[in-house]
């Protein structure tokens, strides 16, 4: 059985520097909701990569479902960030690393 995760890169927009504390709080509430709902595998911020704010790795049933979760991200909705979504086929011991 194929296993897929969805990698979301949040990229800063021109208005990123005008982000408010309230916007960050909505973003964190969204992360918590994803985690509580079993959708969040991993998230974090990047340092030293201009233009990239951070990333999520999501668990979803399909690319379309993952994309809908991206569209609900407050930083995206409010114009502080854009997203790039990539499907990642998991290679692990269970599937013999896709051999």
Contact yes or no for 53/46 (Cβ under 8 A):
yes
pLDDT per residue as tens digits for the range 12-30: 999 999 999 999 999 999 9
pLDDT per residue as tens digits for the range 39-71: 999 999 998 999 999 999 999 999 999 999 999
Which CATH code is given to the segment(s) 4-98?
3.30.70.1060
Global pTM reads 0.93
Map residue 4 onto helix, strand or coil: strand
pLDDT greater than 90 at residue 1: no
Quickly count helices (H) and strands (E) in the chain: 3, 4
What is the spatial distance between Cα 73 and Cα 60, in angstroms, rounded to a whole number?
Answer: 15
């Amino acid at each position: 059985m194929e296993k897929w995760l969805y990698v979301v890169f949040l990229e800063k927009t021109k208005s990123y520097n005008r982000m408010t504390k309230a916007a960050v709080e909505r973003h964190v509430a969204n992360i918590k909701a994803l985690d509580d709902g079993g959708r969040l595998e991993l998230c974090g911020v990047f340092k030293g990569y201009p233009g990239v704010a951070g990333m999520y790795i999501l668990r979803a049933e399909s690319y379309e479902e993952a994309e809908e979760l991206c569209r609900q991200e407050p930083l995206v909705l409010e114009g502080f960030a854009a997203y790039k979504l990539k499907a990642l086929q998991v290679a692990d011991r269970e599937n013999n690393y896709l051999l």
